[in-house]
Every structure is written in structure tokens, then in C-alpha cells.
Structure 1
Amino acid sequence: MTADGTRVVRGGDEPVVPGTPLRPSPVFAAPYHLGEDPLAADFYARPGHPTLRVLERAVGDLDGGDCLVFATGMAAISAAVLSVVRAGDRVVVPSDGYYQTRALAAADLTRFGVVVEQVPTLEIADVAARGDLDGAAFVLLETPSNPQLDVCDIAAVAAATQATGAVLAVDNTTATPLGQRPLELGADLALAADTKALTGHSDLLMGHVSTARTDRGRELHTRLKGWRDRTGNGPGAFDAWLAHRSLSTLDLRLTRQAQTAAAVAELLAAHPAATGVRWPGRVADPSYPIASRQMRRMNGVVSATLADEAAVHALVRHSDLWLAATSFGGVHSTVDRRAQWGGDAVPAGFVRFSCGIEDTDDLVADLGAALDALV
């Protein structure tokens, strides 16, 4: 297998044809010429189009599975759940994962007669070991979790779901396929909000689901493809092209972001203005033992708690390089006070730091000066 840096640049490429561009322009939605058998070729952009297929080949190769791309991360998660479960089924979701996923479960899955159980990320492996996942139809993990960065043992949970027949899906948004490959650890589905680190430039919305290359995975892929076709949750050609272009720099971006995250985590841990520092790549982090075994490389997101809401606002005012924004994984370094959204059980001063690709020393110096202004 070629290295990550080569795969993100060359993934999805067609065979070389002299006189054509290295990365073709997007094939836009338009009427397609129909032959005698219209279903034998592209006939309409909603079920798929050439630009989307090359992106799916590239992302699927990174995941080690067969990929379907969706218009947003939430569209991908919705498709993963709703293409599998039916009324009366039991679904297990992380109680500390992305709050909109929990809102989907509480507001919509329950409305359709699905039984929803929420379990903290740090407890789900123990729940699985006790056999308490028996009877579940669908289990969703999010690891590292957003925003608290707890890590779950995917392989341990996969062993339990394989024994009971439940579909195991892993939200891999924070790690990306370069940081973690859930399908290799036994998951049936690997999914992500590609709006974040995978595309990494904060200029598009996208999500994907990759299925394992097994008989079960192929059956799930067929269900997911049918769901996307019927609901119209696929991306347009330009967004697909933009995502494929952005994918080329993933290896470089993650390398710089993780380098900065390591320095930021140490700075925060040593500073009196911050408490509760979390980054799974830090040896002192409670998730480090599992993360160091399970993850191929670390992520660029760090969390910590400042004194209160006012302290977070003051941090942003005193910083030149750390910007207030709620997305993460992009090339700009950002801070997000998560309590302002009301979906996470975190203190008012809890902050998610997303490390960009600016110079590490500049970012650390700027954040250090802003922290010093708080004490």
C-alpha cells in the first residue's frame, strides 16, 4: 500500500490520457444523452455523476471500504441509521457525541417508533462486554468524541455487535481515515462530516459513509445508495470536485495540526488559566492508552475549560490568530465555547480548540499571551 501522502493526492485518479488535465473539472448536472439502454450510463445527476464517483473512489480507498458521499455530515448519519432501522428497533448512540446526532435520535427516531438508548463514550465498551448490547439493531460510536475527545475501543464493541448481529457505525469525523480506520477494527460503517477535517478548508458542506467490503457491507451499501437516490441527499458536482481537490492536502494538514495540538495541549496543561485539558495524543490523557493503540495518527482538536464565559471572550479579544468559530478541522485556528449552543453538558468556560495550519510557534506564542492576559 502506498503512503498516506501519495494516496490523498492520487486517490480516484483515472488512467493518464495525454492532453487532459491532472484533475478534471466537475461534470455539472445537466440533461444527459440517452442511448438505447438509458440505465447503462449516466442519465440524471441525482443518483450519481462522474465527479462524485471519482471522489467516492478516493475516500473509499482511504477508509478501506466502498464510499457513498452525501450533501452534509448529518445527511450521512441520517442515512446510516434510517436505511437500517425500523419501528421497534433499539438504537444505541453516544450521550456525549455531536449534539445534533442526539437531537436526531430524540426528536425523529423516537417519533418513528425506534427505541433510543444513550450511553457515554467511555462506558460503551463495558456495556458491550456485559452483553447489554444484545437486542440492539444499530450501535453508533463517535471516537474521539466531539467535543470532549473521549476515545472508545472500537474493536471491543465490534466483537460484541458481530456476535449479536447489530450494525456498528463509527463517526470518524475528528480522526479522519488517516487517523483511524474503523472498518479494519470491525465496524460495518465508517462515516464522517467531511465539512470538517477531511476537506479542511471550511468552504463546503459534505459527509460520507463507507461500508466494509464484505457480503454484509455490500448489502448495507445497496440500502444506503437506495436511500440517497430516493431522498436526494447527494452533493452537486462542484462540491464533489472541490472536496476531491481539498483532499490532496489532507496528509500535510493533519501533520501540522497534530504537531500544533501537541504543543497547545502542553501549554494549556501548564497554564493556571486552563483546567481539564484533553487531547488523546497526550500521554497524561485518560484516553491515551486506547488512542495510541487504535489511532494511526492524532487529531488537531484540543479541549480545555477556562474560568467562565467571560474568560473565553477575553481570550478571543487578546488573541490575533485564534478566531471564534464553531466548525473545526479547517486551515484556520479557531476556538468554540461549546456551552453557547446548549447541546453539550459542559461548563460555561469549556472551549474546543481547533488547530489550523498556521506556524506552530506563532500559534503557541499568541495563545500563551492571550492566556496570560486572563490571570
Structure 2
Amino acid sequence: MTSKNGEMLHLRGNALKQGEPVALPLVQSSMYHLPGAPDGLPTYGRVDNPTWQHLEHVLAHLENAPCLTFPSGMAAISAALFATVKAGSRLLIPSDGYYVTRVLADRFLFNLGILVTERPTTTFADGGFDGFDVVFVESPSNPGMDMMDLPAIASAVRAAGGITIADNTTLTPLGQRPLDMGIDIVVASDTKAMGGHSDLLMGHVASRNAQIMERVEEWRKVSGAIPGPHEAWLLHRGLETLDVRFDRMCGSAQVLAERFAEHPAVGQIRYPGLPDDPSYTLAKAQTTRFGFLLSITLGSEEKAETFINTCPMLRPATSFGGVHSSAERRARWGDDVDPAFIRLSVGCEPLEELWKAIEGSLNAL
């Protein structure tokens, strides 16, 4: 994957003409000079923007599939769903995945006549997929870190006549490639590791199915769910260091997980890279890296809050994937987890400095 990232760094450079800027220009215009017939030309900022079109070229290179960008991860998820469901459709989603996807399904899609079913990640395939028009998957689950057999699910859903959508936010295209495993559509929040600096909201949809992408693009045009050019420019800049950041974050997460597993203050540790983790076998088969997210459960809610809020190298914040390590109690958002359950996103700090700060806070509990 590093070589593909290397090619990505020079996609623009190798197409430049003499005297053109090496860095991607930021185009803020909402209007284009259009004397005469506008056929085949950029027309309006809700439809065309050179900055986010080049960003999509880069993302398509990483996904090895056509790609469209959106102003947030949920905008991307919404576009993928509204492009594939209609009144009377049956939708299957994880009961323990990212909670906002469930909120969208329960409060909005259901009211439009879409029949929504939820299943836990670990038993997601139980009962089969006959009758489901769209199957939305997330592996590993956020925040529980459980995994699904993506190739088996993709094959079974296709055989049953359905479409699969996979949320690949937690691992990025560098850590897991759902489209290569038969998934029809990938969605992701690029707010997280893809941007990497906690300073933008973005998302993308990728698919090798041309008809699906036509519908996704049409949804973006008519809904107005377009990315801002400045955010697109920031994400493009973030992608240039994704390979380096992701490697550092995943490598540190592996070491930290092993040390958490040995610390007496930690009641439970979940990380797919630990050989005794329930997700290890699937993660080893399906992913190129085990990721930068892990979870620990401490002795009480009070201890969890104290640990998060006193560790000098952990930012107490929601979201994940930034260069700064961060942590939060997911129960505060309503996830069905222990009140002392902590989702921890490992950043780019020097490993031993990070562990020294974490260990000191654990020892003080």
C-alpha cells in the first residue's frame, strides 16, 4: 500500500505544465465564466469545483474505484443510503455500530417507509440476507471492535439480490479494502484519520458500480450536500501524510494494547491485533493493519473519567484519528457499553512518551 500512496503523492505533479503550482490551488468561486453554450464546462459551485474534483481523483486512486466527496461522514452515509433505498425497501444495519447511522435509520428512513432491521456484529450473518435490499456493515464495529466476515457477507447478500455498503472509517483504505472483498459501496468519515488533524469535516463514497455512483452524484447535486473547497483542500493536504501517520498510529496502538493487557488497573482490553482478541482471526485475514483504535475498561465510571481527564497526552474529546491521542467514555453518548468503557484513539506522539503519560495516570487511579 505504501507504493500506491507514493504514486498518490505525484498524481498531480506528473500532470503539471511548466510554471504551474505544485501545491493544489484552492478555488473558492461559486460562479464560472460562461459565455455561450455551457456544454461540457464547469457551471456552478454546487456541481463543479476543481479543488474537490482533484481530491476525488486522489481518493479514487486510494480506493481503486470512482469516488465522490461529501461535507461529513454522515453526509456520505446518507448519500449512499438515499441512492439505494426507496419506500418499501428492507435495510439491515448493525445494532452496535456507529450510533448516528442507527439514528438516521430509525428517525428518518423508517418514516419514509423503509423497513429497518438491526443485528449485532458478532451474529450479523445469522438468519441470512434473503429479502434485504440493502445491507449496511461496519467492521470493526465502533466502538466495540468486533468484526464481520466481509467477503462471506458480500457474497451472500449479492446472491440474495441485495446491495452492501461498508463503513470503513476506522481502518481507511490503507488498513482494509472492502471493495476488493466484494462489498458494493464504501463510505467513510474523512474527518478522522484521512484528514488527521482534527480541523475539518469531510466524507466520501466509493463504488465500482457506475449506476450507483450516478445516483450518489445526483443525490449530491439536488440535496446540496457538497464539500467546501477549503475543507477539500485541507483533506488533500492531510492525505499526503496519511501513510506515515497511519503507520505510526497502528504501530503504537499494537504496543500500547499489549501493555494495557498487562496493567492491573485495566479490566478489559479490546484490540484486533492481540492474538486472544475475539476479532483477531478475522482481522488477520481481512486487514493489512490492525488499526489505531482500542478500548479499555477500568474499574468504575469515576476512574475512567479521572484517567481520561488527567492524562496529559490524551485529549478528552469525541471523534478519533487525529495526530493527538484522544479518549472518551462512549456510554455518555448512549452506546451499549460499560460506563467505564473507554475508546482510545492512538495518535502520533513518540511511543515511550505517550506510554509514560498513560502509565502514570493509570498508576494514580
Contact 1:89–1:137 (CA under 8 A) maintained in structure 2: yes
- Summarize the Cα distance change of 1:326–1:317 in structure 2 as closer, same or farther, 3 Å threshold: closer
Q: For 1:102 and 1:135, how far apart are their aligned partners in 2?
A: 20
Q: Does 1:243 align with 2:249?
A: no
Q: Does 1:303 align with 2:295?
A: yes
- Aligned match of 1:24: 24
**Residues 193-342 of structure 1 correspond to what in structure 2 (within 5 A)?**
193-212=189-208, 217-342=209-334
Q: For 1:74 and 1:280, how far apart are their aligned partners in 2?
A: 25
Which of 142, 146, 155 is 1:146 aligned to? 142
Contact 1:170–1:189 (CA under 8 A) maintained in structure 2: yes
Q: Deviations over 1:248-302 (max 9, x none)?
A: 0000001110111011111211112112211111212111111111112221111
AA matched with 1:279: Y
Q: Does 1:53 align with 2:44?
A: no
Q: Secondary structure at the match of 2:269?
A: strand
AA matched with 2:37: D
TM superposition shift of 1:13: 5.1
Q: For 2:253 and 2:181, how far apart are their aligned partners in 1?
A: 25
- Summarize the Cα distance change of 1:174–1:20 in structure 2 as closer, same or farther, 3 Å threshold: same
Q: For 1:149 and 1:42, how far apart are their aligned partners in 2?
A: 43
Q: For 2:11 and 2:277, how far apart are their aligned partners in 1?
A: 34
- Aligned match of 1:161: 157
- Aligned match of 2:187: 191
Contact 1:196–1:330 (CA under 8 A) maintained in structure 2: yes
**Residues 85-124 of structure 1 correspond to what in structure 2 (within 5 A)?**
85-124=85-124
- Aligned match of 2:363: 372
Q: For 1:92 and 1:308, how far apart are their aligned partners in 2?
A: 34
Q: Secondary structure at the match of 1:159?
A: helix
RMSD: 1.4
The TM-score with structure 2 as length reference comes to 0.97
Contact 2:8–2:61 (CA under 8 A) maintained in structure 1: no
% same residue: 42
Q: Does 1:348 align with 2:344?
A: no
- Aligned match of 1:65: 65
Q: For 1:195 and 1:12, how far apart are their aligned partners in 2?
A: 23
Q: For 1:10 and 1:179, how far apart are their aligned partners in 2?
A: 21
Contact 1:9–1:249 (CA under 8 A) maintained in structure 2: no
Contact 2:83–2:215 (CA under 8 A) maintained in structure 1: yes
Q: Secondary structure at the match of 1:45?
A: coil
Contact 2:270–2:294 (CA under 8 A) maintained in structure 1: yes
Q: For 2:169 and 2:11, how far apart are their aligned partners in 1?
A: 19
TM superposition shift of 1:12: 5.2
TM superposition shift of 1:61: 1.2
Q: For 1:4 and 1:286, how far apart are their aligned partners in 2?
A: 31
Runs of at least 5 residues in structure 2 that lack an aligned partner in the other structure:
none
TM superposition shift of 1:30: 2.9
- Aligned match of 2:174: 178
Q: Secondary structure at the match of 1:117?
A: strand
Q: Deviations over 1:17-53 (max 9, x none)?
A: 2212212221113320114331311110111211111
TM superposition shift of 1:164: 1.5
AA matched with 2:15: P
The TM-score with structure 1 as length reference comes to 0.94
- Aligned match of 1:79: 79
Q: For 1:256 and 1:23, how far apart are their aligned partners in 2?
A: 25
AA matched with 1:345: D
Q: Which range moves more in the overlay, 9-18 or 31-40?
A: 9-18
AA matched with 1:266: E
AA matched with 1:135: G
- Summarize the Cα distance change of 1:167–1:340 in structure 2 as closer, same or farther, 3 Å threshold: same
Q: For 1:11 and 1:358, how far apart are their aligned partners in 2?
A: 29
Q: For 1:48 and 1:255, how far apart are their aligned partners in 2?
A: 34
Contact 2:5–2:62 (CA under 8 A) maintained in structure 1: no
Q: For 1:367 and 1:50, how far apart are their aligned partners in 2?
A: 44
- Summarize the Cα distance change of 1:172–1:260 in structure 2 as closer, same or farther, 3 Å threshold: same
Contact 1:258–1:298 (CA under 8 A) maintained in structure 2: yes
Q: For 1:159 and 1:248, how far apart are their aligned partners in 2?
A: 34
Q: Secondary structure at the match of 1:40?
A: coil
Q: For 1:110 and 1:222, how far apart are their aligned partners in 2?
A: 24
- Summarize the Cα distance change of 1:112–1:183 in structure 2 as closer, same or farther, 3 Å threshold: same
Q: Secondary structure at the match of 2:39?
A: helix
Q: For 1:329 and 1:186, how far apart are their aligned partners in 2?
A: 26
Contact 2:309–2:316 (CA under 8 A) maintained in structure 1: no
TM superposition shift of 1:2: 6.9
Moved over 3 A (4+): 11-14
